[in-house]
Structure 1
Amino acid sequence: MIKYFLTGIFLISWHMAFTQIIHFTDPNFKNALISSKCVDTDNDYFEDSDADLNDDGEIDVEEALKVVNLKVEQNKYKIWAASKNLLILKN
């Protein structure tokens, strides 16, 4: 039993060590991404959740790749992304 527990701890630690966190220069933009429903993950054009899908307070590359559509409207930012390859930023 302890063998499985230690293996689980090792795998979780390994995953966390190599997760690439996206660093944002603007804390307000990051806050908008993690605190508002702005992400469509099932391509129905309705925002399902915030960009922090695992609720760890950070946005990593794995979470970003799950985003189908993104819509953020807060203060000076209006962002629409129709796909992972298209991002339009309007100030």
Structure 2
Amino acid sequence: MRDWDSKMFLVGAFQEATAQAAATGNPAFAALIWWLVPFFAVLGAIIYVIWVSKFKDKYANETNRSVDKFQSFQHSFRDETKNDTTPNS
């Protein structure tokens, strides 16, 4: 839901900027906005892909390490119950 709200905010901001450009009567400014927004969107996407590809292995290793620790934690309880043969009284 949060992602949808941020997209709608960006669309609203973009529409407001183009409306202001049209209200001032400067079509060059409106054209500049129509070129800059996609340019920065593509630039952001490229930076994101580079960042993810560069740091993906690091985060994957940390995730696997965390999952392994959690599984060993779970297994420690299973091992305890197998060794505990005294009935509750």
- Normalising by the residue count of structure 1, what TM-score does the alignment of the two structures yield? 0.26
Larger Rg: 2
1 or 2 for the larger relative contact order (CA 8 Å, sep ≥6)? 1
